[in-house]
A and B are shown apart, each in its own frame.
Chain A
């Protein structure tokens, strides 16, 4: 079974500054998908960024980027130029690929990191 670990329950950052959220995972799969989701106070889950394990290049979406270290099974999220609207719970998630049989496409979530952006 896959496990996802987020070791930082809470973090804070000044607006306009940069913050990095950590995530490690454990799997025996060679190919898989990784995600960062944001859950603001509204509790709507919002996809922030995704990474396919077969791609060596780190994914980037505007102010959000990841540092994907496959050998180390690490998948950290960097938020640049933090904004007040970034205040939310952030969940790292792992997904097995389609050919995995039982459990394909299921998401395994970490426990989350509560990020507060301070004005």
Chain B
């Protein structure tokens, strides 16, 4: 149980285009989803927190107009990188938390490698 999927696992796009990454909780309802960014050989940096049906809360320094997050249902959150540039190339990881009382653990997706050429 507690499986989180991400799609695609790897994407290459041209500079100036937009790319959407999906994060799904497959066997539980995720009240809260988190999006992280990880550069090579570095730790995970939280980009934003999204709760189902409400606007995402972005961390300081993350451009909300560039990284659009939508959490439209209890099993799906999307991250859209708009007008992507080579510096947006990174590994993006989502995680999800069950809405059940007392459950706090985050379950991680397998990540999406974005390369902007």
Contacts and interface: CB of A to CB of B under 8 A. Distances in A.
Interface of A: 33, 37, 42-47, 50, 91, 95, 97-98, 102, 105-112
Interface string B44-64: 101001000000010000000
A107 B104 contact: no
Interface of B: 32, 34, 38, 42-44, 46, 49, 57, 91, 93, 95, 97, 104-106, 108, 110-111
Given A91-B44, A106-B34, A43 B97 contact: no
23 contacts: A33-B104, A43-B38, A43-B111, A44-B110, A44-B111, A45-B93, A45-B95, A46-B108, A50-B105, A91-B44, A95-B104, A105-B32, A105-B97, A106-B49, A107-B44, A107-B95, A107-B106, A108-B46, A109-B44, A110-B43, A111-B42, A111-B43, A112-B43
Given A43-B91, A95-B104, A109-B44, 7 more contacts: A37-B108, A43-B93, A45-B108, A46-B108, A107-B44, A107-B95, A108-B46
Contacts of A109: 43-44
Nearest 6 A/B pairs, CB to CB: A45-B108, A109-B43, A111-B43, A44-B110, A109-B44, A43-B111
Contacts of A106: 34, 46, 49
Contact of B104 (A44, A97, A110, A112): A97
Contacts of B93: 43, 45
B108 A44 contact: yes
B85 to A, nearest CB: 23
